[in-house]
Amino acid sequence: MHTITDDLRAADAAAVRATVDLVRRVTEADLTRPTPCAGWDLATLLAHMTEQHRGFAAAARGSGAGQAPATDPLQEYPEAAHDVIAAFAVEDVLDRAFYLPEFGRPILGRMAIGFHLVDFVVHGWDVARSIDTLYQPDADILTSTLEIVRAVPDGPERLAPESPFRPALPVPPGADALTEILLLLGRDPARPLP
């Protein structure tokens, strides 16, 4: 039986594959480019993305601690991306408890995959913006992501330095789904990179 959570897993896998395609375009010379992530160059962003895939994959398998840092994200990223897709494809993963350090408590797999989807749609945009290339995920990916993003609380905790998102920005009428996602999470697509 096909369910909404199957759609979520499919959207996440497609979003992750899109980031792999983007990362393949990155050169060694690009690694020092600025990103929309405050204080991070592209090398730091790619290392973070690689480590996040590894952490989510480990959590899906019942172990969330002790992940090795990425030392060569251009080489390591595709493997980590394919690993998380495989870990999320296991039949009962949606109902497993995921232990992710950033949450401080176990969360259900379906929630974790939703968080991962949001993270990688946004980080895909971050990478594309850093290398000045087009980024337009499929409509199914954006629909699933926007539904989750609209439910993300927007409060003072977003001002904390460790917050992955900044306070929401106004969404103009008629904004496309990707623009709405970015603005609701505090990223301004019109703002120049530092």
pLDDT digits (tens, 9 = 90+) for 31-85: 999 999 989 999 999 999 999 999 999 999 988 665 778 899 999 999 999 999 9
Q: Does domain 4-184 have CATH number 1.20.120.450?
A: yes
Beta bridge partners of 115: none
Report domain extents, the chain. 4-184
| pLDDT of 3 higher than 70 | no
56 touches 85 (CB < 8 A):
no
Provide the pLDDT for residue 64: 66
62/75 Cα distance (integer angstroms): 26
First-to-last alpha carbon distance for the chain, in angstroms, is 48
Tokens for 188, please give them.
Answer: 């301004």
pTM of the model: 0.93
| pLDDT of 2 higher than 60 | no
| pLDDT of 148 higher than 90 | yes
The C-alpha R_g of the chain, in whole angstroms, comes to 16
Three-state SS for 12?
A: helix
Sign of CA dihedral 133, 138, 139, 144: negative
**How many Cβ atoms are within 10 Å of 107's Cβ, its own excluded?**
17
Over residues 130-145, the mean pLDDT reads 95
